[in-house]
Amino acid sequence: EQAGKGEYDHFMLKEIHEQPVSLSQAIEGRVDPARGRIALEEFGPATFEGVESVQLIACGTSYHAALYGSLALNRAGVRARALLANEYSVGAPPVDENTLVIAVSQSGETADTLNALRQASAEGAATLTVTNVVGSTAARVADETLFIRAGPEIGVAATKTFSSQAVMLVLLAQRIADDVRGGPGADLESLLTELSRMPAAIDDLLSSTNARSIARRYEGCQSYFFIGRGLGFPVALEGALKFKEITYDHAEGFASGELKHGPLALVTPETPVFAVFTGTEDEKTLKNAEEAQTRGAPVIAVCPDGHRAVDVADAHLEIPDTDSMLAGLFANVQLQLVSYHAARLLERPIDKPRNLAKSVTVE
Ligand code: G6P
């Protein structure tokens, strides 16, 4: 097992550092910035032409990627929502043949997700799975498949598969919008250029990060909060999930604007707030962070250098100034590293957290 970890002490750290490679693999041959086009050759022409709405179903970290994808679809002008797969049987919105149901699952074997996928299929929806595992059950059950090509992920806490899922869903969103509306939803040139720069930019982030000193600085606090708006919201949820999974400390993610509607009652000098800035209504998020800071909470701004939040916050985790569709994914890498170092200080069994399994094949 040590051999498989190479120079790293844990698979999780190795897999965080593999993200430049896993993302290159994900986008290879699929983006063409020079011609401003997305090539998802696995789908025939106009595969998504009749799609009127999209439902994304998933669990855990994959649910956060699904939420990210649903926001990308909405931004592209396609009706979409993300649903927890384990809630699907009791509260799914109705589907018909014009509904595309996308199951997002790293393993392709999560029982909750497979059940929801089968239900959607039985009710007549078109189905697609976004997965890492060729030959997985989800890949066999769904009508269409999009592989994220992240390579094997051993650490129970998902890292590199999250970024690849999110990136593939952003690409898929543009492709669906193109089929449905006759044009991609986003500024494709900027998106594809930034996407092709992303692996190198993550490499830079990994070699310059101060995540370890941030983890040390806030060690022993009572609770850790993560806030974000728009595409920063799923990143905040994922930041908190990762943190609780491997440190066993309490962590919670909130939509920035929701902090004042309840969670603010929990904020004290013992509750650091990680604020994710993705370039969408950042002034509002900064105001929300300041509301926590006024109550004594240290604020860690996850944003580009030179951002106004850097002057206001108590600490800074830097991300590059990039397309707003991708900024949150850089923030996510910084937060993965904070969780890793926090868990390491606590000497937790990082790759195999108590009570958790890599893939949950029971309901
Ligand atoms: C388990 C894992 C999580 C994962 C979730 C969904 O709970 O511990 O890390 O996000 O399953 O897994 P999937 O393979 O469907 O993405």
Q: pLDDT by residue (tens digit) across 202-239?
A: 999 999 999 999 999 999 999 999 999 999 999 999 99
| Cα(277) to centroid(ligand 1), Å | 26
- Report the candidate in 285, 293, 339 with the shortest Cα–Cα distance to residue 314: 293
Q: Which has the higher per-residue pLDDT, 181 or 348? A: 348
| Cα(148) to centroid(ligand 1), Å | 15
| Cα(106) to centroid(ligand 1), Å | 7
Question: How far apart, in Å, are the Cα atoms of 137 and each of 39, 129, 140, 334?
Answer: 25, 10, 5, 32
Residues 125-148, mean pLDDT to the nearest whole number: 98
Q: How confident is the prediction for the chain on average, in pLDDT? A: 96
User: Are 145 and 119 in contact, with CB atoms under 8 Å apart?
Assistant: no
Does the CB atom of residue 137 touch ligand 1 within 6 A? no
Residue 127 has pLDDT above 90, yes or no: yes
Q: Where are the beta strands (DSSP E) in the chain?
A: 31-32, 37-38, 53-58, 80-84, 99-105, 126-131, 144-147, 224-228, 251-255, 273-276, 299-303, 315-318
* Closest Cα to atom 2 of ligand 1: 358
Residues 335-357, mean pLDDT to the nearest whole number: 97
| Cα(61) to centroid(ligand 1), Å | 6
Of 359, 361, 363, the residue with max ligand 1 atoms within 8 A of its CB, to mutate for a pocket test, comes to 359
C-alpha span between 177 and 180 (Å, rounded): 5
Question: How far apart, in Å, are the Cα atoms of 220 and each of 204, 247, 272?
Answer: 29, 11, 11
C-alpha span between 263 and 224 (Å, rounded): 12
C-alpha span between 30 and 47 (Å, rounded): 16
User: Are 150 and 15 in contact, with CB atoms under 8 Å apart?
Assistant: no
Q: Give the per-residue pLDDT at 34.
A: 77
Q: pLDDT by residue (tens digit) across 27-60?
A: 999 988 777 788 898 999 889 999 999 999 999 9
Residues 188-212, mean pLDDT to the nearest whole number: 96
Q: Give the per-residue pLDDT at 2.
A: 65
Question: How far apart, in Å, are the Cα atoms of 44 and each of 39, 145, 176?
Answer: 11, 12, 12
> Number of C-alpha atoms within 13 angstroms, CB side, residue 170?
26
- Report the candidate in 202, 206, 227 with the shortest Cα–Cα distance to residue 300: 227
Residues 327-333, mean pLDDT to the nearest whole number: 98
Residues annotated as catalytic are 358
Strand, coil or helix: what is 62?
helix
What ipTM was assigned to the predicted interfaces of this complex?
0.98
Task: Tell me the pTM.
Answer: 0.97
Question: How far apart, in Å, are the Cα atoms of 113 and each of 100, 110, 130, 284?
Answer: 15, 5, 12, 35
User: Are 133 and 106 in contact, with CB atoms under 8 Å apart?
Assistant: yes
Q: pLDDT by residue (tens digit) across 250-308?
A: 999 999 999 999 999 999 999 999 999 999 999 999 999 999 999 999 999 999 999 99
Does the CB atom of residue 136 touch ligand 1 within 6 A? no
Question: How far apart, in Å, are the Cα atoms of 40 and each of 45, 46, 169?
Answer: 10, 11, 11
Q: Give the per-residue pLDDT at 221.
A: 98
Does the CB atom of residue 61 touch ligand 1 within 6 A? yes
- Report the candidate in 346, 280, 286, 281 with the shortest Cα–Cα distance to residue 310: 286
Q: Give the per-residue pLDDT at 74.
A: 97
- Report the candidate in 360, 314, 350 with the shortest Cα–Cα distance to residue 159: 350
Residue 90 has pLDDT above 80, yes or no: yes
C-alpha span between 253 and 46 (Å, rounded): 38
Of 148, 153, 241, 360, the residue with max ligand 1 atoms within 8 A of its CB, to mutate for a pocket test, comes to 360
Give the whole-number percent of the chain exceeding pLDDT 70: 99
**Helical ranges in 56-187 per DSSP H:** 60-75, 88-91, 111-122, 137-141, 160-181
Q: Which has the higher per-residue pLDDT, 38 or 337? A: 337
Q: pLDDT by residue (tens digit) across 15-25?
A: 999 999 999 99
Q: Give the per-residue pLDDT at 156.
A: 96
